[in-house]
Amino acid sequence: MSAATGIDAEPAAHPGWGIFWMVVTGILFVGVTALVKYLGTRVPAPQAAFLRYAMGLVFVLPLLRTMWAFRPERGTWGLIAARGAFHTAGVALWFYAMARIPIADVTAMNYLSPIYVTLGAALFLGERLAARRVIAVIVALCGAVIILRPGFRELGPGHVAMLFTAVCFGGSYLLAKRISGRVTAGVVVAMLSLTVTVGLAPLAWAVWVPPTPWELAVLFGVACLATGGHYTMTLAFRAAPLAVTQPVTFLQLVWAVIVGAVIFGEGVDIFVVLGGTVIVGAVSFISWRESLLKRRLTPPVAATRI
């Protein structure tokens, strides 16, 4: 199941279409990062995140009938609230980081979320960590070290924020796995949108500055691209197995490097590209092993997005 889409379906054998839709997904999500980067820091990160989700509620209106009939089991509300809290923190941190560090850094470090999911599943869900998965996790963490290069480059608060962003999105995905066994996919999606909007509201109020019509338009564009990205990601999952589509997520880093260099004048950091490649390779290996074992735990990189 995708944390973003709430869908858990056996994919058909159309790998070409799966790859195509995952490429489109990557382009859309890089468009999201580019718009947030363009927005800058005048609008505080919690407010920008709140406006993105508040305006994005228009896309869950078709789910109102499903929400009205929602009768959760005992404990489900607690899981929904916990997931909303994790995702709220992750989104606010992501917006903060995006405005302060290069697009390629944000994209590469976001690849860590599936690794945190693997670790969290072992710690909290009793999942067994086989030797191959342990090695893949270690390799991915080495990729993070290559990106950050502590002691060799200046690490700003944006890099620290991205480390915690990946943890928060990983926690959100694990809780989504628990919730998906209790409620429908539509409720999973709608509840995430509602809880994150509510969770961000007081944070936004505390730092509110009057947004301009242009800033509102940019944030609505963020909501549209993010929603489109989650939809095309669903199409990719339906067309091909995760083991096929996961490696394609590396192209998001390629697009991010190009957009950062051409549009925002950011330098191309070969260590960021190398570290991101190492992480994607590790995540793809874990996904491939899970496909052989007929299991599904590791999320696609794109599932842990805003």
- What does the pLDDT read at residue 3? 40
C-alpha to C-alpha distance for 130 and 286, rounded to whole angstroms: 10
CB contact at 8 A, 143 and 78: no
Query: Helical H runs in 40-156?
Result: 45-56, 64-68, 76-98, 103-110, 113-124, 131-148
Q: What is the mean pLDDT of residues 142-158?
A: 86
Q: How would residue 1 be classed by pLDDT, with cut points 50, 70 and 90?
A: very low
Hey, which of 101-115, 116-130, 198-212, 246-260 has the most confident mean pLDDT? 198-212
**Residue 37: pLDDT over 70:** yes
- What does the pLDDT read at residue 233? 81
Mean per-residue pLDDT of the chain: 84
CB contact at 8 A, 259 and 32: no
The pLDDT tens digits of the residues spanning 157-192 come to: 999 999 999 999 989 888 888 887 777 777 787 888
The pLDDT tens digits of the residues spanning 47-75 come to: 999 999 999 888 888 777 766 766 767 78
C-alpha to C-alpha distance for 95 and 235, rounded to whole angstroms: 26
The pLDDT tens digits of the residues spanning 278-289 come to: 999 988 888 887
155 by DSSP, 3-state: which?
Answer: coil
Q: What is the mean pLDDT of residues 197-218?
A: 95
pTM of the entire predicted model:
0.83
- What does the pLDDT read at residue 104? 92
153 by DSSP, 3-state: which?
Answer: strand
**Residue 267: pLDDT over 80:** yes
Q: How would residue 246 be classed by pLDDT, with cut points 50, 70 and 90?
A: confident
Which residue in 98, 221, 97 sits closest to 158, CA to CA? 97
Q: Which two tokens stand for residue 101?
A: 């560090």
- What does the pLDDT read at residue 306? 67
**Higher-scoring residue by pLDDT: 3, 220:** 220
Which residue in 90, 59, 48, 99 sits closest to 219, CA to CA? 48
Query: In a 10 Å sphere around its CB, with 0-12 CB exposed, 13-18 middle and 19+ buried, how is residue 17 labelled?
Result: middle
- What does the pLDDT read at residue 294? 64
**Residue 28: pLDDT over 90:** yes
CA 177 remoteness from chain centre: 15
Which residue in 161, 170, 163, 160 sits closest to 93, CA to CA? 161
**Higher-scoring residue by pLDDT: 195, 72:** 195
